[in-house]
Amino acid sequence: MNNSIVTEFMILGLTQKPELEGLLFIIFLFTYFVAFLGNMLIVIAIVYNATLHTPMYVLLLALAMVDIICTTSIIPKLLATMLTSRKTISYGGCMSQLFFFTWSLGAEMVLFTTMAYDRYVAICFPLRYSAIMNHYMCVALLSIVMAIAVINSWVHTGLILRLTFCGSNTIDHFFCEIPPLLALSCSPVRINEVMVYVADITLAVGDFTLTCISYCFIIAAILRIRTTEGKRKAFSTCSSHLIVVSLYYSPVIYTYIRPASSYTFERDKVVAALYTLVTPTLNPIVYSFRNKDMQAGIKKVFAFLKH
């Protein structure tokens, strides 16, 4: 199978301590449900309400869908392995998980930058916003996001498929991610490490830089607002957005910028939890549930369900 002797992998999971597994199972199950239901509610609210069919909310819809795919590609399998003694995943299942996770990772990073650009145009050029962020621009931006995400995922998954796994099949992680798979490979991984480094610099560092630049312009525009209340609300929104964005980019940059030989999996599992579960859970709260239009849209969904 793709020059690989290994037909399945054993996933060690979050911890080797049985007394902690029950607690971690409850925490991850609860967090996953919060993330899944929160993002699904956003998807339904935006699709159901015609008033939310604007560029900002279409980008939020895309972010929610990416978060659903990200968490669902990892957490259900993790929870299943925690319930059984057979903690394995097939070679094909591992590669599929790797592809969908890498796709969602790339999509989310570029989406954060796109959303920051949308807010930059809305706040710095309010009179020209409708002309700049029209239907065609929105479709073009989303197409770029999807194209970058797919290419990124194809490249890294394709390079992993070329590797030979002939020794240990034990993944010291809670899902199939590039770093632990590189650590298991019997064949040279130099080209993989170079491509991961290039992707980390261009996608993670590059997008984070562009996002921060957009928010610098937004903050400069906010400082020109005359009312104290207006400034307070705007700063509150910007700061919460930047915190969530930093919580996502920082661990991703930290994880993927290092060579395979320097991975410390016990610590890296905690770091990975930030961008696989914590950020997808926080995104609906920070980007949507605090928004008055989204609140109104969600109320309409609940009112519809009641009837």
Given pLDDT bands bounded at 50, 70 and 90, which one contains residue 242?
A: confident
Q: Give the residue-averaged pLDDT of 115-139.
A: 92
Share of the chain above pLDDT 90, in %: 58
Query: What structural domains and CATH numbers belong to the chain?
Result: 9-306 (1.20.1070.10)
State residue 307's pLDDT score.
67
Q: Is the pLDDT of residue 254 over 70?
A: yes
- The pLDDT value given to residue 117: 94
Phi-psi domain of 134 (left: phi exceeds 0; alpha: psi -120 through 50; beta: other): beta
How far is the C-alpha of 71 from the C-alpha of 264, rounded, in Å? 23
Query: Which class for 195: exposed (0-12), middle (13-18), buried (19 or more C-beta within 10 A)?
Result: middle
pLDDT, one tens digit per residue, over 43-80 is 999 999 989 999 999 999 999 999 999 999 999 999 99
Res 286 pLDDT > 60:
yes
What is the average per-residue pLDDT within 243-254?
A: 90
Q: Residues with Cβ < 8 Å from 59, sequence gap 6 or more?
A: 111, 114, 115, 118, 138, 141, 142
Average pLDDT over residues 216-222: 88
Query: Does the pLDDT of residue 85 top 50, yes or no?
Result: yes
Q: Nearest 5°: phi and psi at 171? A: -90, 115
Res 108 pLDDT > 90: yes
Taking residues 157-182, report their average pLDDT: 91
Q: What is the mean pLDDT of the chain?
A: 89
Q: How confident is the model at residue 238 (pLDDT cuts 50, 70, 90)?
A: confident
pLDDT of residue 4: 46
More confident residue, 18 or 281: 281
pLDDT (mean) for 276-299: 87
Residues 6+ away with beta carbon under 8 Å from 168: 184
Question: With bands split at pLDDT 50, 70 and 90, how would you rate the model's confidence at 1?
Answer: very low
Write down the residue that tokens 């194209």 correspond to: 147
Instruction: Write down the pLDDT at residue 229.
Output: 66
Residue-level pLDDT at 267? 79
Query: Cα separation of 85 and 66, whole Å?
Result: 31
Nearest one of 203, 198, 216, 196 to 109, comparing CA atoms: 203
